[in-house]
Amino acid sequence: MRFRNLKKRSKQLDKIKQDLKQKYRYARFVDRVKALITDLFMIYAPILYVITYLVLNGKDDFQSSQVAQLSGVLLYGVVYAILLAKFAQTPGKKAYEIKVVDVKTGQNLSFFRAFLRFIAFLFSATILIGVFIQLFRKDNRALHDLIAQSVVVNVK
């Protein structure tokens, strides 16, 4: 690629970054953590309760069954992805007035991108650096946001 083409492309990328700064007000790390905790109590805990006590015969069966644990996580991921695809918010995100949108268009994510974001979150939460990387970025995007091309913004 020629130098002038690289320079032109660099200017275009700078313009896109400036547009993003003006377009979005990024959600704070603290609000994202609070929303996650709220979602765990409002969505994940009832799913685990139903699996443990209505499907299985109690906590001992649940703890000994890896299939039950995996199905709980996957069911939570599906519910999470449906809510993000339809409303761009989960109950926790709605409580803290934040939403997840496409970084380029500002539209809701598709179901598959929202589910990819959830799977990427599981990975980035496992290695921890993926979640804390947002503390060092101006746009507050974590690893799972970068993978899914999403951004968490304030609604107001």
pLDDT in tens, 42-91: 999 999 999 999 999 888 998 898 999 999 999 999 999 999 999 999 99
Report pLDDT for 123.
Answer: 93
Instruction: Report helix, strand or coil for 98.
Output: strand
Sign of CA dihedral 66, 74, 120, 118: negative
Report pLDDT for 22.
Answer: 58
Q: What's the chain's average pLDDT? A: 88
Give me the residue spans of the domains in the chain. Answer: 26-154
Rounded to two decimals, the pTM is 0.81
Angle of the 66-87 helix axis to the 111-127 helix axis, nearest 10:
130
Sign of CA dihedral 78, 80, 84, 86: positive
Separation in Å, CA 153 to CA 2, 67, 123: 37, 35, 22
Residue 24 and residue 77: Cα distance in Å, rounded?
26
Would you say 5 and 134 are in contact if contact means Cβ atoms under 8 Å apart? no
- Of 9-13, 45-49, 98-102, the range with the lowest mean pLDDT is 9-13
Report pLDDT for 66.
Answer: 93
Residue 21 has pLDDT above 60, yes or no: no
